[in-house]
Amino acid sequence: MRILFVCTGNICRSPTADGVARARVEALGLDWQIDSAGTGDWHAGESPDERATETAARRGYDLSPLRARAVERSDFDRFDHLIAMDASHERFLRRLAPGRAGGQVSRLMDWVETPAERDVPDPYYGHDDGFERVLDQIEAGVDGLIARLSQPSG
């Protein structure tokens, strides 16, 4: 299984999802490829936001090896699922998707059985507690994603 998480700049939400998914997949012994990207290249090559990194580290996730990059058309060939953090990212991916590849696109909260909200909000311009709330959502989304994709009917 190959999963790409996507947000705006690839410095807060998608690298957090990347780090959570990598840890969960490794703990379960799954042979999955996990990556993250942004809808733009504003932060290409940069490390995740310090607040995201610190929040994740408090829960045992290491985001330090991750570097921002932009989504590329070739990602639709390289990944089985492209997971958007919010509606704007989902629209971007569906417009970018070649041919029938739009079926690979979903929102992270679509993988949660009864999500309180469908979007993972951008914590960048808010307070530190926003990063905690986002991490709660991401953990639930990643757990739902792994549970559903790990089933034999996957």
Residue 8's domain comprises 2-150
CATH code where residue 7 lies? 3.40.50.2300
**Overall number of domains in the chain:** 1
Burial class (CB in 10 A: 0-12, 13-18, 19+), 109: buried
AA letter at 133: R
Say whether pTM exceeds 0.85.
Answer: yes
Q: How far apart are CA 93 and CA 82, in angstroms?
A: 8
What tokens appear for 110 in the block? Answer: 């679509």
Q: Which of 12, 13, 35, 119 is catalytic?
A: 13
Nearest alpha-carbon partner for 47 in 80, 12, 78, 20: 12
Could you tell me the two tokens for 45? 């090559």
CA pair distance 139, 152, nearest whole angstrom: 22
Our answer to whether residue 122 is catalytic in this structure is yes
Digitized pLDDT (tens) for each residue of the chain, 154 residues in all: 999 999 999 999 999 999 999 999 999 999 999 999 999 999 999 999 999 999 999 999 999 999 999 999 999 999 999 999 999 999 999 999 988 777 899 999 999 998 889 999 999 998 889 999 999 999 999 999 999 999 876 4
Q: Which of 41, 110, 122, 143 is catalytic?
A: 122
Concerning whether 13 is annotated as a catalytic residue, the answer is yes
